[in-house]
Structure 1
Amino acid sequence: MAVIGRDTPSPRRASAPSAVLLADAAVRALRAEARLSPKPGLVDHRGSGAHDDMDLPLVLASAEALRPTFREIAKAAERTAAGVELREELGALGRLGDQAMLRTTGGVNTHRGALWALGLLVAAVAGGAGHEREAARGAARLAALPDRRIPAAEPSHGERARRRYGAGGARSEAEAAFPHVTDVALPRLRQARAAGLGEEVARLDALLEVMSLLRDTCVLHRGGPAGLRVVRLGAERVLAEGGAGTGSGRAALMDLDDVLRERRLSPGGSGDLLAAALFLDMVPWPERPDRR
């Protein structure tokens, strides 16, 4: 019997995607989320959204800079069983990826949350997960393990918001097996596609569904509970009007975008989780049933 945490090959399925393919899917998911438009308060091809330190070319370059990190994460998960040793190696790789991102962006945090979420999911798929929920559960097990190598550092904006407002944040989302990905974004995405809506509308509606439910620490950091209410109620209104594919829904979406830009509210956590959903949707699973 393999001892968890030792340098023991994990039980990969024979058809598991390669590290190169998984890295490509992760980068494509990040770039697809960045290009999606119009996203309320977020960077897209129209401009910087609620941000003043990033634009679409910068975000796209940041995504590409993370390709080697995702590839190394997948390779680590291929050769090492899920356990503390792998968790610590993933943490070290993630910190190197974070440095690569910051070098590319001139110090702007474009993808730290997405790197955390997608890194865990890439590792879970590379380690043998055979479908989306299995990948989310594998990522949750990794997220819950300790990383004894993590250096002392100033808490991030998201961590400060988590502590101040009691929000779960990115870590809790991962440890809960990404419920806003598997139970919210992916079902909404596929529901929209099944209804014959275009891919842009399907992705926007999936994003809005997450925004309407998530206690987004990016929003809490900038706007506190009042800002979070603005985001959630605004997203609910767009969906109640029929979503991004209807005239009234699109008008409500643009109204929400105006409000978020004016108040400098960026639902970045929701964007990260949409990217995670797009990644899982892009993985070539051996079969794609709606498993529970």
Structure 2
Amino acid sequence: MSNRIAYDNTAQNKYMKGMIISPTAFKIGSNILKAILMEIICTPKPGLVDRANAGAHKDMDISTFMQSTAAIAHFMSVAAQVAMDHRGDLNALLPKIRAIGLSAEEEMFLATDNVNTQKGLIFSGMLIAAAAGYLTARETGDLKLLRIIQTIQKITEGIVERELMQLDKNEQKITAGEWLFLDSGVTGIRGEAEKGFPNAEAAYQVIVKANASGIPFERGLIMALLFLMTRVDDTNILARHGAETLTYVRNQANKLVLSENAYSDEWLDKVRELDKDFIEQNISPGGCADLLAVALMFYYLTIPDKRMH
């Protein structure tokens, strides 16, 4: 009997209808899901939804994120399987991933009553799942981070030029991120993806180093998030507040990253104070949160036997 399971597609996506999902694709999707969940429950996260509070948000909390994640989780395995079965140029994978992502977005909005919790993360997660699936079907041995990054770069090659440089300010359906590109040249998640998620890769290294030093795993994630805040052009912050607030966030995060008592209980109290500060100022570094999740995807896909984290 086959150990592959038929996928019942409710969205009637042409790339998903009648698809058979392999155990390998399920495993990839499971690692992506674990990364998303670990980012959500990481606490404290200044200005962001976590176990302690809803951050600088009025329309979502941790329950909203859990429902959203449950709604989109299986699409990650679908993206992995599509890439495993793909024939042709890697760049031709992107339209397939995008189509699956639109179905995932529909399910997300249904689950959250039209609250956008994870739209950007759907795109990132799909790319990483697809890259992992593509490589697993063609290469032997454990997944290597460099190969995942190179594959993502090939899948997304030219995306900024095609999708951002052709934008027209007079178009009616322009997202906040696209407006930021037109206004200040910030390429957002597309630019990050086309480069192979370099900021997420750097955050991954922070997590690995902290873990190797015996730092409690969650505190390593908090440090990785703060590290991202010091360097990412976070489109959530820029769209809500502008460049001055982004500079403020970077400066505050940098103090904690460079703190002499980093990872200590006292340090954690200062992170909680920053959380209160961001909530009062309505600052939500959502782009950094997404990249922390991406860093965790890299971690769980490339470092075997991390079941306890």
Partner of 1:8: none
Shift of 1:286: 7.8
SS at structure 1 position matched to 2:43: coil
Distance 2:177 2:251 in 1: 21
Shift of 1:258: 1.7
Q: 1:118 aligns with which of 112, 118, 125?
A: 125
Point out the more displaced range, 194-203 or 241-250.
Answer: 241-250
Are the aligned partners of 1:42 and 1:48 in contact in 2 as well (CA < 8 Å)? yes
SS at structure 1 position matched to 2:230: helix
Partner of 2:86: 80
Cα 1:195/1:285, change in 2 over 3 Å? closer
Q: Would you say 1:133 and 2:146 are equivalent positions?
A: yes
Are the aligned partners of 2:237 and 2:285 in contact in 1 as well (CA < 8 Å)? yes
**1:225-258, Cα deviation, whole Å (9 max, x unpaired):** 0111121111101112246522442233123212
**1:4-28, Cα deviation, whole Å (9 max, x unpaired):** xxxxxxxxxxxx9711111111111
TM-score for both structures, normalised by structure 2:
0.81
**1:88-109, Cα deviation, whole Å (9 max, x unpaired):** 1111001111111111111111
Partner of 1:50: 56
**1:104-129, Cα deviation, whole Å (9 max, x unpaired):** 11111111111111110110010016
RMSD (CA atoms): 2.2
Cα 1:286/1:190, change in 2 over 3 Å? closer
Are the aligned partners of 1:201 and 1:244 in contact in 2 as well (CA < 8 Å)? no
Distance 2:260 2:172 in 1: 44
Distance 1:197 1:175 in 2: 32
Shift of 1:69: 1.2
Cα 1:78/1:145, change in 2 over 3 Å? farther
Cα 1:257/1:209, change in 2 over 3 Å? same
SS at structure 2 position matched to 1:123: helix
Shift of 1:265: 1.1
Shift of 1:285: 5.9
Shift of 1:161: 2.4
Shift of 1:164: 2.1
Distance 1:112 1:119 in 2: 11
Partner of 1:225: 243
Partner of 1:59: 65
Partner of 1:206: 224
Q: Would you say 1:181 and 2:200 are equivalent positions?
A: yes
Cα 1:131/1:284, change in 2 over 3 Å? closer
Instruction: Write the letter of the residue equivalent to 1:106.
Output: D
Instruction: Write the letter of the residue equivalent to 1:225.
Output: A
Cα 1:102/1:242, change in 2 over 3 Å? farther
Q: Would you say 1:97 and 2:104 are equivalent positions?
A: yes
Query: Quick one: percent identity of the two aligned structures?
Result: 28
Q: Would you say 1:39 and 2:39 are equivalent positions?
A: no
Are the aligned partners of 1:22 and 1:283 in contact in 2 as well (CA < 8 Å)? yes
Partner of 1:26: 32
Are the aligned partners of 1:205 and 1:243 in contact in 2 as well (CA < 8 Å)? no
Q: Would you say 1:158 and 2:200 are equivalent positions?
A: no
Distance 1:187 1:243 in 2: 20
Are the aligned partners of 2:92 and 2:155 in contact in 1 as well (CA < 8 Å)? no
Partner of 2:167: none
How many residues align? The count is: 268
Distance 1:63 1:264 in 2: 24
SS at structure 1 position matched to 2:233: coil
Are the aligned partners of 2:145 and 2:302 in contact in 1 as well (CA < 8 Å)? no
Partner of 2:234: 216
Shift of 1:62: 0.8
Query: Displaced runs of 4+ in structure 1, greater than 4 A?
Result: 145-148, 284-287
Extract unaligned runs of 5+ from structure 2.
1-21, 137-142, 164-170
